[in-house]
Structure 1
Amino acid sequence: MRREIELVHLVAVDAGRSGTKVVTDGARDYFPSVLGEYRELRLERRMSRTDMIVEYSGQRYYVGDVARDESVSGAQLMVRTKAHNDTKIFVLTALHRVLPDNAYVFLVTGEPIDNHTAGEKLRMKQLLLGDHTIRVNGELKTFHVVRVEVAAECATAGWALRRPGRFHVVDAGSRTVNFATMDNGRWIDRLSGSMDFGLETVQNISLSMFARMVAAELSKHVGTLAPVVLIGGKAAPLAEYLEQYAEVDVHPDPLYANATAFYQLGVKALETATAQ
């Protein structure tokens, strides 16, 4: 068992609606979660690290900044479920960027709290388990995803903080705002959930009014607000406006908070398997 575990690469992928964050041993990575159709360009483009031509299962796509710029269909998918082809492409692209060819993978990814159900986790595992061959910018790699765990976004980041006392973790994402109430390292399901709006689904609203919406919804769910820890790419600017409603701290690594927590969860799972 120990030898088999040593051969597997542990990779955490937070496939957010705005960006895909990746954490593995000794590496972290980010690219925009934008996918669109591929087309031949008439004007030469100097491709950056976040410009990708992806080929998978007979289809060719643009992924990243080039999809936003050059694909007619290039967009962030804001549907409720994450168990769909876009997530698969983003996860496999993430693996391609940080792993060698023919790698065996233990993947930890996440779902918003309200979607963290047995059925949705099963669909995510069925989507990602197995052998996958993908070409990114001309380089072909095959991955063998032998294990998938689906963590709860936001709540897992709260667990990883190891912070005593009661506090709320708030993750203001593009489609949803997740919140998890933590009490001495344990999350409280009754006081945790997902708000059905996000930074890129609420139109024509200032960040200060968005913070007010978050405070109003959070207080509706949990009552009197305990200290709040903000995670996500907009944590720092949001904190400036949210602190008038509650005591607010910004996570020390807000953009990678979920991905890093997913990785820690995977490490713990491997330690448990090794001990058996």
Structure 2
Amino acid sequence: MQPSSEPEVRNIPLAGVIGWPIAHSRSPALHGHWLKRYGISGHYVPVPVMPEHLAEVLRALPRMGFVGANVTIPHKEAVLTLADVVTDRAALIGAANTLIFRPDGKIHADNTDGYGFIANIRQHAPGWIPDLSPAAVIGAGGAARAVVASLLESGVPELRITNRTRIRAEQIRSEFGAKVVVYDWAEAGNMLEGAMTVVNATSMGMVGKPPLRVPLDALAPGTLVTDLVYTPLMTPFLQEAEARGCDVVDGLGMLLHQAAPGFERWFGQRPEVDDDLRRAVLG
């Protein structure tokens, strides 16, 4: 029997990040670094999608060889209504950032932001003990919801939250339960007293955004302070906290760690988050 002269057809797995706009995303550099490091024949690309085209694009991507995608602003809430399977944590947070296109054609939606948040702290502040004292979260947007869910799961006895629009913080309390205590924005500084985990989950302090004006006088030395903002890496909020003797963790690691579960599902390799990856993403 003559061997077939036709080359074997082998699909190269594709993944990407869906958003509008998307050119600023660091995810292609992040996943591209891992694909190269592990010698994986695959590609990860930015996919700009206007909101009105989201459903159509999600149906098309699996037919084009995509095995999954990350989702960013403004689509993280909308994809929940379009997915066939939604994990409990994505439903609780009310947003998804990771999609898996299953072989049976179904879209599986998950949220790994909370995982990334905790993994970043564990990597850079290994002595962190969340269940001994209250945590304080500044902000009540989508990112804050993931942080709240992960901190409560980690065992914090009380979670204090404040937001410029109080009703959004009240909504988090109504959904996440009695451990959540809402503070007025004017009392944000008081909220930090006795809290040994403090998180800025707003975009304030980011390049091009207004500064975060919360008095930090009540911060105790040794408090774990982290900022979800990573441009700049050391925000004024983190700089002041460090000057007060706090243990500070920048926000870049959350981006890196939240990407790992998706990469593993799409490309079959559990990737490592290390200094080489940080350098690649920072460019």
Whichever of the two has the greater Rg, that structure is: 2
Structure having the higher strand fraction is 1
Relative to total residues, which structure has the larger helix share, 1 or 2? 2
